[in-house]
Amino acid sequence: MADIARITEVVEPEAKALGFELVRVKMLGSEAGDEPALQIMAEDPATGQLLIEQCAELSRRVSDAIDALEEQGEVLIEGAYRLEVSSPGIDRPLTRPKDYADWAGHEAKVSLAEKLDGRRDFRGDLVGIEDGVVTIDDRKLGPVSFPLANIHSAKLVLTDRLIAATMPLDTGGADEILEEEEG
């Protein structure tokens, strides 16, 4: 299995060199028959997104950095894998403390690593984060707080309010993407 912490150490400086912030580094699809994918989500802090050209630029830098380490004998990911670089999207994952502050007031789904009062899943308006403790105004229970460290996964829920608060996504260059026909 890939060491995500080590991969992040390699990827983050490449993102920062381009002026981007890293949102998430994750290995996906390592189930039987699936080629694993190294998923990298990043954003331009000015826009909260990455344009297609920015994704391509980051992808090239990350690929070059991983290749350089492999040439020196350090293998970060065993076997074949795909590299996927993307913007986090509107219904973005919440992975950093700043995400919980920046997106306060918006609806989120949160899944905990360990149950709290017999529940693992919560959904409601994100209140925010203070001293490493996240609070969500759960639709059924009202305000619930838990340590950030206990969050297994969290993401924003696509709502009209979120769409209205999000800068319009730039689709420039999307028409230039070519799809290969399977033969």
Alpha-carbon distance 134 to 148, whole Å? 6
Domain boundary among 31, 58, 86: 86
| Closest listed residue to residue 148, CA positions, set 125, 123, 129 | 129
On whether both 68 and 126 belong to a single domain, the answer is no
On whether both 76 and 139 belong to a single domain, the answer is no
On whether both 26 and 46 belong to a single domain, the answer is yes
Quote the Cα angle for 92-21-175, to 5°.
65
User: Hey, how many other C-beta atoms are within 10 angstroms of the C-beta on 83?
Assistant: 15
| Closest listed residue to residue 138, CA positions, set 177, 95, 116, 108 | 108
On whether both 24 and 78 belong to a single domain, the answer is yes
Residue 171 domain flag = no
Indicate if the pLDDT at residue 179 is higher than 80. no
Q: Which helix (H) or strand (E) holds 85?
A: strand 82-86
On whether both 73 and 104 belong to a single domain, the answer is no
Report the side by side order of strands in the sheet with 142-147. 142-147, 133-138, 119-130, 107-116, 151-156
Helices (H), the chain: 4-17, 52-71, 97-102, 160-165
Residue 175 domain flag = no
In the chain, the percentage of residues whose pLDDT exceeds 90 is 72
40 and 11 Cβ atoms separated by less than 8 Å: yes
Alpha-carbon distance 95 to 98, whole Å? 8
On whether both 55 and 81 belong to a single domain, the answer is yes
User: How far lies 42's CA from each of 34, 57, 113, 145, 170, in Å?
Assistant: 24, 12, 24, 27, 15
In the chain, the percentage of residues whose pLDDT exceeds 70 is 88
| Closest listed residue to residue 4, CA positions, set 51, 36, 49 | 36
On whether both 12 and 35 belong to a single domain, the answer is yes
Strands 82-86 and 151-156 turn out to be: unpaired
Domain boundary among 86, 113, 143: 86
On whether both 36 and 106 belong to a single domain, the answer is no
Residue 177 domain flag = no
Residue 120 domain flag = yes
CATH code for position 76: 3.30.300.70
Q: How many contiguous H segments (helices) and E segments (strands) does the chain have?
A: 4, 8
The predicted-structure confidence for 121-172, as pLDDT tens digits, reads as follows 999 999 999 999 999 999 999 999 999 999 999 999 998 888 888 755 555 5
pTM: 0.79
On whether both 81 and 14 belong to a single domain, the answer is yes
pLDDT value of position 141: 94
Alpha-carbon distance 121 to 110, whole Å? 6
178 vs 92, which has greater pLDDT?
92
Mean pLDDT of the chain: 89
Residue 60 domain flag = yes
Instruction: Please count the structural domains in the chain.
Output: 2
Residue 182 domain flag = no
On whether both 9 and 75 belong to a single domain, the answer is yes
Domain span holding position 108:
97-165
For 143, half-sphere exposure in the C-beta direction (CA atoms, 13 angstrom radius) is 8
